[in-house]
Amino acid sequence: MVLENSPNLFLQKLHHQFMSFIYRNDLQKLLPLYSSKWNPHLFGQHYQEHFAPLINKKLKILEIGVGGYEDPYSGGDSLRMWKQYFPNSMVYGMDIVDKKALQEDRIKIFQGSQDDEGFLKKVVAETGRFDIIIDDGSHRNDHVIQTFKILFPELNNGGIYVVKNTHTFYIPSYKNWSNFCKDDVAPHWAEYGGSLDLYDQKTMMNFLKRLVDCLSHQEFIHPGYTPNYFDKHIVGIHFYRNQVFIYKGDNTAPGNVVENNTLRPDFLQEIGINSLAELKLEFPAIDAPTKL
Ligand SMILES: C[S@@+](CC[C@H](N)C(=O)[O-])C[C@H]1O[C@@H](n2cnc3c(N)ncnc32)[C@H](O)[C@@H]1O
């Protein structure tokens, strides 16, 4: 049987290699070759848009979630795709299952959980900072938030952090799920810890929405406000269907009418007052995103 199938398999492999070479500069076409997942075109077009300017750079790319779940010999499709697309880059994978069997030239894989701070720090100590991080791992809301808090600071300036499959933030925990669905639920779906409540503070989507305000922290009228790490280092956030791209850089330039979180003297003069206190504003507390 194996012998009968092998010429076929060989031709399939050859075809795959040929096509991935032809499409090596286009993630929209490359992704369907490396992924049988739901709607690869949807993800591919945004990867292409954001990664094309970086294609020939020498980068360190980390993808959390190698694929293949419990099988140590299965998965690694996206790692191989990044290797093909970024010819000068090193690709790192991370999975809770030992996937080291899938390592090859320019692909190194670590075993550990994405919410384990000690493990993540050890990885960074070995690899150095990353230029691109893609979170396609457990998709648990608490994990995704925890991983972002630990790994975003380990991204180089100009780097991009991608959170994939954000649909899991709308899938409630098993307890809630069972309230409206009598069918059996696969365990990993039950553990995502999303919510039916769009304003539920514990979901990754709300964490990401809170990060949007970080972009404008220099515009906050809030004397005494202390900018947090994400305020100072997030320079762009792009939301798409099931995919979010967060750009890192220097976000410390002063605001338009605000400087050091108070109104600038020239603006006070323009509106005809001597100090902000004259406006008798009340300043609600602003929690850091890390509190979410
Ligand atoms: C959706 S698959 C990744 C697919 C792969 N990125 C691709 O596109 O080919 C998710 C992977 O995350 C891994 N995973 C699950 N929980 C994890 C955790 N806590 N930390 C790291 N990886 C985890 C699973 O073992 C699985 O292989």
Which residue among 36, 109, 111, 136 has the greatest number of ligand 1 atoms within 8 angstroms of its CB, and so is best to mutate? 136
114 touches ligand 1 (CB under 6 Å): yes
CB of residue 40 inside a 6 A radius of ligand 1: no
Query: How does DSSP classify residue 194?
Result: B
Give the pLDDT confidence of 165-185 residue by residue, as tens digits.
Answer: 999 999 887 665 556 566 655
Atom 20 of ligand 1: nearest residue by CA position: 113
Instruction: Please report the pLDDT score of residue 35 as a whole number.
Output: 82
Q: What is the pTM of this model?
A: 0.93
Question: Any bridge partners for residue 172, and if so which?
Answer: 194
Backbone conformation region of residue 278, classed left if phi is above 0, alpha if psi is from -120 to 50, else beta: alpha
Q: Is the dihedral of CA 22, 26, 27, 28 positive or negative?
A: negative
pLDDT in tens, 194-225: 998 999 988 999 999 999 999 999 999 999 99
Determine the Cα–Cα distance for residues 67 and 87; give it in Å rounded to an integer: 22
Q: Catalytic: 139?
A: yes
Candidates 220, 226, 238, 235; CA nearest to 276 is 220
Q: Which atom number of ligand 1 is nearest to the Cα of residue 93?
A: 6
H/E stretch holding 130 reads strand 130-135
Average pLDDT over residues 234-250: 97
Q: Which fold has domain 2-291?
A: Rossmann fold (3.40.50)
